[in-house]
Amino acid sequence: MKKTPGKDPAFRLTPQRAGILRFLDGNKSHPSAEDIYARLRRKFPGMSFATVYNTLQSLLALGGLTEVKIDGARARFDPDTKPHSHLMCVSCGAIADLPAPRGLRPAGAPSGFKVLRCNVEFYGVCRACAPAAKKEKTSCQKKKRK
């Protein structure tokens, strides 16, 4: 994990930082630094991208935030620091949470290998990005009852 030289060891809570914390609190969209900046600059017109970036780095160092690396294009951030997995739509970049797999022993693991944790990442296309998938006939449709 990268460490930023502690510019603000006490994490001074400026109004802008408080705004970033409020935006992240309970946020399940796994925003990037750019997303956060775009959302909050309307409220804090004087805020710089560096403020967002540095605040995120401080939160990461403090353990109040997790960096999700599922999106190869940009770092995404998750205020939920409990272990869990993710799935991402490769078309729109939406990321959803999945419960962490537990006690999963991967096929092919060398004997005697003790699994401590597991982080599974699924890539696919969400419903909104694949309208054709909605119309696709599935066997479920045959089960319709009246």
Near Zn ion by CB under 5 A: residue from 92, 98, 115, 133: 92
Q: Is 97 in the site for Zn ion (CB under 5 A)?
A: yes
Stated as kind and residue range, the H or E segment containing 76 is strand 76-78
Q: Is 38 in the site for Zn ion (CB under 5 A)?
A: no
The dihedral over CA atoms of 8, 13, 15, 18, expressed in degrees to the nearest 10, equals: 110
Contact region with Zn ion (CB under 5 A), list: 3-11, 35-43, 51-59, 81-89: 81-89
Near Zn ion by CB under 5 A: residue from 70, 100, 118, 126: 126
Instruction: Give the integer Cα–Cα distance in Å for 85 and 109.
Output: 20
Q: Is 78 in the site for Zn ion (CB under 5 A)?
A: yes
The set of residues, in sequence order, having a beta carbon less than 8 Å from that of 32 and lying 6+ positions away, is 71, 74, 75, 76, 77
Binding site for Zn ion (CB under 5 A): 78, 89, 91-92, 94, 97, 126, 129
